[in-house]
Structure 1
Amino acid sequence: MEHSLSVSIVIPIGPAESIIPVGLIEDLRSIPSASEIIFVVCHQRFDDQYKQDIVATLAPFQVSWLESGQGRAVQMNYGAQAAQGEFIWFLHVDSRFSVELVESLWVNLSRAPDKLHYCLLQFLADGSNGMALNGWGANLRSRLLGIPFGDQGFAISKTLFAQVGGYPEDASYGEDHLFVWYARQRGIKLKCCTQYLQTSARKYRDKGWWYLTCRYQYLWIRQAIPELLKLLKQRYFSARCQR
């Protein structure tokens, strides 16, 4: 493994979250010890003793607790600004991952530092039936169309993150989706870590698989169309200038 890499893991925690899942804590212990872990809360729900316990559990990692304004984009940008690592890996608080994923991702970051990295997606067995289809669709969309989403664990150099401009804080939804488009519009290519990053499917269980699946498909396609047109326009004028 590329232990010499300097990586900051930024994990935004929403106002409804009252604990850090034990599974995530266990998985974080598998990353190289030189890594930095940053939890970003938007409404303080954790007392000092709980935070101290998490820091002690994750020793010898450098662990920070930050408080920012509300909104995932705001929290991730705030965490990225505070990050000391050369690379930033954005994770959701309900993410799970293997040692093999860490090894593969660290190698990819070392060999392709100029790319936006993401992982294959797999849903945990805490949702409704049909989630295997959602995971398959997400991976097909990512690899065929070059449109991964944030639950696939974006990893990028801090320099490139600044060039992209961070996550759009004024977007009503899909800040991670837009971030990918902004990166591509700046000529940044994507790199897939061919290991599975797992994420919770509870929201599909709670709101209904059919409803949420159709809603998400509609929302990302509606958001993607204007960004695709911008990208095609850029490529058209770039091609004309090179003639």
Structure 2
Amino acid sequence: MKQRSFQHISIIIPVLNEETHIGSLLQHLKAQSLNFVKEIIVVDGGSSDNTVTVALNHGVSVLHSNKGRAKQMNFGAKHATGEVLYFLHADTFPPRNFDKRIAEAVQNGLEAGCFRMKFDHKSRFLRFFSWFSRINYRICRGGDQSLFITAKLFEEASGFNEEYVIYEDNEFIGRLYKMTVFTILPQHVRTSARKYEKMGLVKLQYHFGIIHLKNFLGAGPEQLYQYYRRNIL
């Protein structure tokens, strides 16, 4: 692969009522990165709690967007100035020196990728499913693994499909697999199991599996969202 000169990273975090997590995440990002992060952009979708205040107190940029993770991430990308975009959920914590890992991948000619994933939970059930995040196949991908992509490729791919209220990460990454060599970095992000704890581990994983199956069988964004709304929200 063609070697590239280093390009700085814009971190984009879509949020909605994330005052519990956003402060810890922003502290973590500053503590675990080196000198490759150009900016951190928090994109708020209309929080009614103190998310925005907490983010501003940590000295990052806060943008206001229409609600919807795809819309928020596209809006953040539109205003980002780094040549590499790093999309991150508010309850997902990247590994130490994550920015250096991304920079090295981009320098080696890779245009898009993610990290492996672990849950912040001791459940063997969740450890089993998170193990599959190391497999470089599109069905094993998800937004909780985070996503880095060059701004150039993001533009060529037309960004996230805003018709998707859920499954926007999977849909976008599925397109990236057709456009470039997608890479899985060997380090792990640590993501919250809060939704599993709230609903039940097996029950939630079952519903996520059905959503994957429905997408595979051709269900569109509205059908996926209606299933999610009936069974998970």
Q: TM-score with structure 2 length normalisation?
A: 0.82
Amino acid at match of 1:39: V
Q: CA RMSD in A?
A: 2.5
Name 1:121's counterpart in structure 2.
117
Structure 1 residues 113-154: Cα deviation after superposition (integer angstroms, max 9, x where no partner)? 4x22111011112x75621112113333xx245641111111
Distance 1:3 1:157, change over 3 A: closer
Could you report, residue by residue, the CA deviation over 1:197-243 in whole angstroms, capped at 9, with x for unpaired residues? Answer: 1100010010011111111111113213449xxxxxxxxxxxxxxxx
Cα distance in 1, alignment partners of residues 52 and 98 from structure 2: 32
Code of the residue aligned with 1:7 in structure 2: it is I
Secondary structure of the residue that 1:69 maps to in structure 2? coil
Q: After superposition, where does 1:124-203 map in structure 2 within 5 Å? A: 124-125=120-121, 130-140=125-135, 143-145=136-138, 147-185=140-178, 187-203=179-195
Is 1:54–2:58 an aligned residue pair?
A: yes
Alpha carbons of structure 1 residues 12 and 52: separation in structure 2 relative to 1, 3 Å: closer
Q: Please report how far the alpha carbon of residue 105 of structure 1 lies from its aligned counterpart in structure 2 after TM superposition.
A: 2.1
Higher deviation after alignment, 31-40 or 162-171: 31-40
| Unmatched tracts of structure 2, length 5 or more | 220-233
Q: CA deviation at 1:95?
A: 1.1
Aligned-partner Cα distance in 2 for 1:152–1:24: 15
Could you tell me which runs of 5 or more consecutive residues in structure 1 were left unpaired when the two chains were aligned.
56-62, 228-243
Deviation digits for residues 27-82 of structure 1, max 9, x if unmatched? 21132345210000011443875444211xxxxxxx21000000111110100111
- Percent identity reads 25
Contact kept? 2:52, 2:62, Cα under 8 Å = no
For residue 218 of structure 1, what is the aligned residue in structure 2? Answer: 210
Q: Supply the distance in 2 between the matched residues of 1:213 and 1:196 (Cα, whole angstroms).
A: 20
Which amino acid is 1:164 matched to?
A
Query: Does structure 1 retain, via aligned residues, the 8 Å contact 2:142–2:169?
Result: yes
Give the counterpart letter for 1:130 in structure 2: F
What corresponds to 2:225 in structure 1? none
1:59-98 matches, within 5 Å, as: 63-98=60-95
TM-score (norm 1): 0.78
For the pair shown, the structure with the greater C-alpha radius of gyration is 1
Between the aligned partners of 1:43 and 1:17, the Cα distance in structure 2 is 11
Structure 1 CA distance, aligned partners of 2:54 and 2:137?
43
Q: Is the 8 A contact 1:40 1:66 kept in 2?
A: yes
- Per-residue deviation, residues 65-120 of structure 1 (Å, max 9, x unmatched): 0000001111101001110000100001011122243332221122124x221110
